Amino acid sequence: VCWCCDLIPDNMWLTGLRFALLVWIPGVLHAVNEKEPCSAPDLKNGYFLPVQESYPHGSHVTYSCDTGYKTTEEGWWVTIVCQDGDWSDKPECVVETVCLPPVIPNGKFKQNQNGSLEINCNAGYSLNGQDNIVECHSGTWSAVPFCQKHPKACDQPPAVPNAVIIQTYQEVFDAYSTVTYQCRDEFLTQDRESTTTVSCEAGNWFGTPRCSKWSLSRPARSGSTDTQTTFVSIDHCGEIPHVPNGLPVQQEQRYVKYKCQNFYKLVGPETVVCHRGGKWSEVPKCKEDFCLLNTAEYPDLTKTGNIYIRNGETEYPKCVDRWTFNKYVVARCIGGRLSVSTCKYQCKHQLDC
């Protein structure tokens, strides 16, 4: 608060304000415009417009390819944008007779030695009798088949309150697939188990459980002769169970909680309790939740040893730089299975590979 402003003449006050604005505004403008410009794109076998030595942030450049070459996009011209010193995409022109990697919804492909592609559908999808081999002819693939849901496959399992499914999410499951539901802490199924497995049969899930509240100190039902249903102090069961690749993370009077080491997933109940008869409840397992990529087994990859890829994740190992468009492969671990793309072409976006 300016206590003495009333004592300053109006003309002097306005002069001071103008001076402050002159000092402050250039600093703000500099902060707004401080993003880096881009140098001219590096493009072989093509041309771009406008031609400049430098492009301010936000500039648009359009490029096309010389005769006998084509872009790696769907159209014959492509627009890229300068974004703080880098272009939004790397411009590229490839030989017109080259076939670019196709997009296979609900499926994937692998390249054979003769250059043809073998199409394989994801779990729960099928080609329904279509040929799964496609060939490249003068820059165009022969009819690329599509993967459609198998009539006996199941959609995602139904949601169960107070439960989760202990495996990677997917929208469609093969016929005869199984999934395991696990109830949250202090909840059990109608069979008084913390987990239960259901199966996909003829397009439907059978055996979907209910998870209900069940206190660990709750006594057995009246008249029951089952001496194992009442939980007591874990001291009655002696040494806590050993879970390979797992660790006990919480130990209370009546239960022990486990978690798995990195790159392993917990299968079974997270909590283990001691029954009145001196026996432990079901003990979980820690199963591998990764794929191993040995770069020595792939001649096109730069040799960097073993690469561990967590289930459901993707890595981009570098390729040996033999051609200007050989950059990297896309290595995915899906359902514990490793898939590695070829590194013949560079993808525009990693998600497009």
DSSP for 199-261 reads EEETTEEE-----EE--TTPPPPTT---TTSSEE-GGGG-SPPP-TTEEEEEE-SSEEEEEEP
Residues 6+ apart with CB under 8 A from 286: 243, 244, 245, 246, 260, 261, 264, 265, 266, 267
Q: Between the CA of residue 335 and those of 86, 290, 303, 311, 339, what are the distances in Å?
A: 36, 9, 25, 6, 11
- In three-state secondary structure terms, 131 is coil
Q: What is the pLDDT of residue 56?
A: 92
Each domain of the chain, given as residue ranges in start order, spans: 1-33, 38-91, 151-211, 215-288, 289-353
Joined tokens for residue 110:
């692998």
Q: Which residues are bridge partners to 7 per DSSP? A: none
Read off φ and ψ for residue 64, nearest 5 degrees: -140, 175
Q: What is the CATH number of domain 151-211?
A: 2.10.70.10
CA distance 299 to 303: 9
Residue type, 199: S
Q: How far separated are the first and last CA of the chain, in Å rounded?
A: 61
Q: Which residues pair with 134 in a beta bridge?
A: 117
Cα four-point dihedral sign 195, 200, 201, 202: positive
Q: Domain spanning 38-91: which superfamily?
A: Complement Module, domain 1 (2.10.70.10)
Coil, helix or strand for 266?
strand
Same fold across 151-211 and 215-288: yes
Q: CA-CA distance, 229 to 219, in Å (whole number)?
A: 7
Could you give the 3-state DSSP secondary structure of residue 142? coil
CA distance 281 to 291: 31
pLDDT 10s digit of each residue in the chain, 353 long?
444 455 555 555 556 556 555 555 555 445 445 788 999 999 999 999 998 989 999 899 999 999 999 888 877 888 999 998 899 888 989 888 888 888 888 888 888 888 888 888 888 888 766 778 888 888 888 777 788 888 888 888 988 888 888 888 888 888 888 888 988 888 888 878 888 888 888 888 888 888 888 655 444 444 444 444 467 788 888 888 999 888 888 887 778 889 888 888 888 888 888 887 788 888 888 988 888 899 888 888 888 888 888 888 888 888 887 655 557 888 888 877 888 888 755 544 444 44
Which residues does residue 49 pair with via DSSP β-bridges, in sequence order? 62
At a CB cut-off of 8 Å and minimum separation 6, what does 291 contact?
308, 309, 311, 331, 333, 336, 337, 338
Q: 215-288 sits in which CATH class?
A: mainly beta
